[in-house]
Structure formats: C-alpha cells, structure tokens
Amino acid sequence: MQLKAGTRLRSATDTCEVVVVRAPAEPVDLRYGGHPLVPMDAEVTTQSAEPGFDQGTQLGKRYSDDELGIELLCTKAGEGSLSVGETVLAVKGAKPLPASD
C-alpha cells in the first residue's frame, strides 16, 4: 500500500483508526491485528486478530519504525497490534528535554 501523510485508515478486526503522520517513499504492507488496514470508506467483514498481533493500541500514541520512515497516530484504540508485514510497530517514546543547568 502506498501511503502519504494525512491518510486515515481503519482496522478490519475492530474499531481501531490511525492517521499516517510520516510515510515512506515505497509501498509497505501495513497491517493491524495481522490483517491489512483499509481506507475509512471501505466495506469490510470483521475478522479476529491473529495470534501475536493482539497486544493492543493506545489512543493518542504514535507508533513508528525509524528504519522504514513510518509513523502512525492512533485516533481510536483497539485490541490488535500495528505492524509492517510481520514486524510489530513500537510505541514512539518522548524526546528527552535538554538540560537547563
């Protein structure tokens, strides 16, 4: 799937929704719960999350892979995990503030 910043996607397994914050130049196999994410207006039949892709996503958290150059913002939480192929995306940590000594 070719992504671009601002694209909204949703899960085929539950109510999870994400917004693409940063997209790689090449197409990626973006999944949620082990199944491909779909555009917001797509018709889907609900499926169950695959084993290993059910750790959950948290509302307002960013999920990224710096090597691929992808970053997603979760706008509706869910029970599945975001992944690129078989690689589960990690929650992006906060940047440390500079010392003010």
To 10 degrees, the CA torsion angle through 82, 88, 90, 91? 20
Alpha carbon separation from 12 to 36, 51, 69, 74, 101 (Å, rounded): 7, 15, 24, 15, 50
Q: Do 82 and 31 form a contact (C-beta atoms < 8 A)?
A: yes
Per-residue pLDDT of the chain (101 residues; tens, 9 = 90+): 899 999 999 998 898 999 999 999 999 999 999 999 999 998 888 888 899 999 999 999 999 999 999 999 999 999 999 999 999 999 998 888 888 76
Q: Which two tokens stand for residue 85?
A: 């192929």
